[in-house]
Amino acid sequence: MKEALSRSGKFFSSPEMLEIGQAVRQTRLRHQLTQTELAGLAGTGLRFISELERGKPNVALDKLVAVLAVLGLRLQVTGGDE
């Protein structure tokens, strides 16, 4: 598993987080919601929504699940090919 921090200390996105972020953004736009409106409905902050849509790794799984629930999305975990 890759670490969430590079040697410079900056975060980098994993392909999975980018995919989740894109899905959240596309669905939010389809529902004609602003990031601020989604944050209010999900009980999170605007910064969280912005970072989520950009694919920033985040450990606030409870917030992620709340956002997905507002949008009618769900998280599915499958086994890897390792």
Pairwise CA distance, residues 57 & 35, whole Å: 18
CA 7 to chain centre: 23
Per-residue model confidence (pLDDT) at position 31: 97
- Ordered domains of the chain (ranges, CATH): 15-71 (1.10.260.40)
Cβ burial of 37 (10 Å; 0-12, 13-18, 19+) is: middle
pLDDT at 59: 64
Instruction: Specify whether the CB–CB gap between 20 and 63 falls below 8 A.
Output: no
Angle at 18 between CA 16 and CA 21, to 5 degrees: 110
Q: What is the model's pLDDT at position 14?
A: 83
Instruction: Kindly report the pTM of this predicted structure.
Output: 0.78
Token pair in block for residue 62: 């409870």
Confidence band of 9 (pLDDT split at 50, 70, 90): low
